[in-house]
Amino acid sequence: MSGAIQDSLSVETLYSEYHGWLHQVLRRRLGNTDDAADLAHDAFIRLLTKPRYLNQYTARAYLSRMARGLCVDLWRRREIEQAWLDTLASHPEQEAPSAEQQTAAMEALIEVDAMLRRLPEPVADAFLQSMVHGLTGREIAQRLNVSERTVRNYLSKAMLACLRLQARLEGHILGDSPAETIGNAEKRIS
């Protein structure tokens, strides 16, 4: 057996030796014991579902990096939640969606945010400029200093990602073939 695998700490050992330390790191970073406990728990759940070869020399560095990512995810989620709550507050109460609809909308917004972060930056940027700001392909091309054809390609990639996300959220599996994806999208439209 190789030395790295032999020296690898089990999740149980990592938990017993580093959970308290990780909780304190997160508590200092977040200023909240409950959030720190939740994120420390999430960190070890991730290690259970996606084991890593960590030893006494690499464990703290890896857990610190994971903690930073979990904090960023939490802060991003809270920003999205606050934007959603601000949007709800700006509408009359009788128009407010039900609690179930609000939860579904919040989950969808978080999924869309994650999908946009996975796209290459210019693709996500072109998509947001088109969908949020209502810019034309020509205007986006000028802002991004690319051709209009490139903008169309960016928007196609973003729409494909949206279709895949929609299919996943609806419980369908969408193939990797763009022709299949477009055919499925056309069937939905007609």
**Which of 93-97, 99-103, 104-108, 118-122 shows the highest mean pLDDT?**
118-122
Q: Are 29 and 71 in contact (CB under 8 A)?
A: yes
- For residue 93, tell me if it sits in a domain: no
Task: Select from 65, 87, 109 the last residue of a domain.
Answer: 87
- Among residues 24, 54, 87, which one ends one of the domains? 87
154 and 113 within one domain = yes
Q: How many of the other CB atoms lie within 10 Å of CB of 161?
A: 18
What digits encode the pLDDT tens for the residues 41-100? Answer: 999 898 888 877 888 888 889 999 999 999 988 998 888 888 888 888 887 877 778 888
User: Which pLDDT value is given to residue 6?
Assistant: 55
Residue 72 and residue 121 in one domain: no
Q: What is the pTM of this model?
A: 0.59
Co-location of 68 and 104 in the same domain = no
* Confidence at residue 174, expressed as pLDDT on a 0 to 100 scale: 46
Whether residues 81 and 26 share a domain: the answer is yes
Split at pLDDT 50, 70, 90, the class of 140 is very high
Residue 92 lies in a domain: no
Total domains, the chain: 2
Q: Which domain holds residue 162?
A: 98-189
Using pLDDT thresholds of 50, 70 and 90, give the confidence band for residue 103.
Answer: confident
Domain of 37, CATH number, reads: 1.10.1740
Has residue 37 got a pLDDT over 90? yes
Quick check: 110 pLDDT over 90? no
> Measured between alpha carbons, how far is 46 from 30 in angstroms, rounded to an integer?
20
In a domain, 30, yes or no: yes
**Do 163 and 143 fall into the same domain?**
yes
State the residue for tokens 């999208």: 185
CATH assignment at residue 118? 1.10.10.10
Same-domain check for residues 70 and 119: no
Residues 103, 76, single domain; the answer is: no
| Rounded mean pLDDT, 4-12 | 70
Domain-terminating residue out of 37, 65, 87: 87
Say if 72 falls within a structural domain: yes
Closest of 72, 64, 56 to residue 24, by C-alpha:
64
Which residues, 6 or more positions from 106, have their beta carbon under 8 angstroms from its beta carbon?
80, 81, 84
Please check the confidence at residue 163 and state whether its pLDDT lies above 50: yes
Distance CA 118, CA 161 (A): 9
Let me know whether 119 and 48 are in one domain: no
Q: Which helix (H) or strand (E) holds 86?
A: helix 59-89
Please indicate, yes or no, if residue 159 is contained in any of the structural domains: yes
Instruction: Work out the mean pLDDT of the chain and round it to a whole number.
Output: 82
